[in-house]
Structure 1
Amino acid sequence: MNGTVDPPLLPPPDRVAGLLAELGSPPRPAVHLRAVHDVAHQPADWMEQRHPAVAFDREAVLFGAATHDVGKTVHLAELSGPGSAREEAGQALLLERGVSPEPARFAATHASWSDVRIGMDDLLVGPADKIWKNKRVPDLEDLVVARPAEATGRPAWEGSIALDEVLSGIGDAADGRLAFRASVPIHG
């Protein structure tokens, strides 16, 4: 891409790549979705390894991370400015293209972690959307560790320490992801 070197990011699922192509996604949102999808693997790994008895859908988390901001393909102003119109628009775009409501919901729920109806899958997409650029959200991280602690009876502080290690490691590599995103044009 324009003489830049891609950081070692995992590609999005084939289905997501096809959806983005179908939507005519500009390069910048596609790179953002790829980066969030890439880092979402690590919180999912953390959950599987630390809390194997806590139910969550890894594939749904990864799909959600790869599509959470798909609404930015039509709300381009939100690529560099505030707004939340992309959330409902993204969910509608996915539904219109045959994505079932369960995975399409991530476009609308990824920033709504304080809603008590939000499940573990949704909570794992939230930190990925923040930590890819080394942003920490303590309230969100507390929720990510509180749910498994409640389910397993383990102290939340133990989970906090372990999650902090994972998120700190992801955050340490944020400069490369941010530089790559900045090197990609917003529009095609």
Structure 2
Amino acid sequence: MSLRRAVCGPGGPDRVLPPEVVDLLVAVQAPARLGAHLRLVYDVACEVTGWLSSAHPELVVDVGAVLFGAATHDVGKVVFRQELSVPGSRHEAAGRQLLLARGFPERLARFAGSHGSWRADGVGVEDLLVSVADKVWKGARVEDLEQLLVERIAAASGVPVWEAFVSLDDCLQGLAEAADRRLAFQNGFAV
């Protein structure tokens, strides 16, 4: 089955999606390309949270929530499949609802609805991290999103904003450099 290969087979990142996410994607008959995308964003989120824990341990982050959010953020695209190949945001609310309907708690389901809304009031650092991972996996850098994260890092760490910026920028630039490899893996699976 190509979905299983996309989420935990060879050729992609060494990290595979958590078993509960694999089971969910199989149950909702997710397209293989969606599974590959979620695996790639999850892998990048693992890298970013690992870097953050090491470089800025003062910033308290629910790493488990971030990783779950990265692994499921686009699950609503099983409802709005056209958004796998064209821009759209209808999958966000649909994904949150799908996760809630399958028994996942709001604190985890929220990422499916918030990953495209980093400018909204009340967005937490975990939400920002999922959004950053969802951009940088393909080499995209979003200045206002990254600035929000930089401000959180600086405030928690007590370092100047410019220092937090340089630190985050180094991490994200390194991740962005592998974007072509990630895109090739994702594009190897059908929509």
Provide the TM-score with structure 1 as the length reference: 0.94
Of 149-158 and 69-78, deviating more is: 149-158
In 2, Cα distance between the equivalents of 1:108 and 1:142?
Answer: 21
Matched residue count: 185
- The secondary structure found in structure 1 opposite 2:148 is helix
Counterpart selection for 1:88 from 80, 93, 113: 93
1:38 and 2:43 correspond: yes
Letter of the 2:90 partner, please give it. Answer: A
Letter of the 1:177 partner, please give it. Answer: R
Letter of the 1:107 partner, please give it. Answer: A
Aligned position for 2:106: 101
Letter of the 2:17 partner, please give it. Answer: P
- The secondary structure found in structure 1 opposite 2:159 is coil
Aligned position for 1:159: 164
- The secondary structure found in structure 1 opposite 2:186 is helix
In 2, Cα distance between the equivalents of 1:66 and 1:91?
Answer: 13
Q: CA RMSD in A?
A: 1.5
Using the aligned pairs only, state the percent identity: 48
1:9 Cα deviation from its structure 2 partner: 3.9
CA contact (8 A) 2:136 2:172 kept: yes
CA contact (8 A) 1:9 1:34 kept: no
Counterpart selection for 1:63 from 68, 84, 90: 68
- Within a 5 Å distance, the mapping from 1:10-159 to structure 2 comes to 10-159=15-164
Letter of the 2:152 partner, please give it. Answer: R
Tell me: CA distance 1:13–1:5, structure 2 relative to 1, closer, same or farther (3 Å). closer
- Structure 1's unaligned 5+ residue stretches are none
1:8 Cα deviation from its structure 2 partner: 2.6
- Structure 2's unaligned 5+ residue stretches are none
For residues 5-38 of structure 1, give each alpha carbon's deviation from its aligned partner in whole angstroms, at most 9, with x where no partner exists: 6133410111111111111111011110000000
For residues 30-84 of structure 1, give each alpha carbon's deviation from its aligned partner in whole angstroms, at most 9, with x where no partner exists: 1100000001012111221122122110010000000000001111110110111
For residues 79-126 of structure 1, give each alpha carbon's deviation from its aligned partner in whole angstroms, at most 9, with x where no partner exists: 110111100000000001010000000000111111130001111101
Provide the TM-score with structure 2 as the length reference: 0.92
In 1, Cα distance between the equivalents of 2:63 and 2:135?
Answer: 18
Structure 1 residue ranges (4+ consecutive) displaced by more than 6 angstroms after TM superposition: none
| Highest RCO, 1 vs 2 (Cα 8 Å, sep ≥ 6) | 1
Letter of the 2:91 partner, please give it. Answer: R
In 1, Cα distance between the equivalents of 2:14 and 2:90?
Answer: 27
CA contact (8 A) 2:70 2:134 kept: yes
- The secondary structure found in structure 2 opposite 1:105 is helix
